[in-house]
Amino acid sequence: MTTSELQSRHLIECPQFCGVAIYGPRRELMGSIAKIFIESDNARVSYVLAKFDLLGLGSDYFTLPWLALKYNSAISGYQTHLIKRQLLAAPRYPASSDFNLKRVEIETAIYEYYGRCY
């Protein structure tokens, strides 16, 4: 996705998902969703900010493409195929970050790290 395409998209935060658990491949609790961003023009979820403090990764926000999560009703949360080693190199931002100012940077970082699945 080009920078101009990213800049032209309008995203809306959706607070209803805040705090929903994220589990790993073996259903181990890893963290939770902090924020979710939805494209305003087509209602497609774009990306998620997640906290993985349960993995000892601090209080940083990690950006994940929506496609990296799948709801699992058996555990009442979202499950990801990502493991701690992958998250260590993933795009992350301090909890004090202003995400409105960095959306193009954030989405570019997600695309560059996770590739075509996003």
φ and ψ at residue 69, rounded to 5 degrees: -120, 145
Residue pLDDT, tens place only, 7-37 = 445 666 666 788 899 999 999 999 999 988 8
Out of 37-46, 55-64, 75-84, least confident range: 37-46
| C-alpha 43, offset from chain centre | 16
Say if residue 1's pLDDT is above 70. Answer: no
Angle at 67 between CA 1 and CA 7, to 5 degrees: 30
At 82 the three-state DSSP class reads coil
Domains annotated for the chain, with CATH where assigned, are 3-117 (2.30.30.240)
What is residue 26's predicted lDDT score, i.e. its pLDDT?
A: 94
Q: Which amino acid is at 48?
A: V
What does the pLDDT look like over 73-107, one tens digit per residue? Answer: 999 999 999 998 899 899 999 888 877 656 778 88
Q: Average the pLDDT over 56-71 and give the result.
A: 89
Token representation of residue 59:
């209080």
Predicted TM-score (pTM) of this structure: 0.80
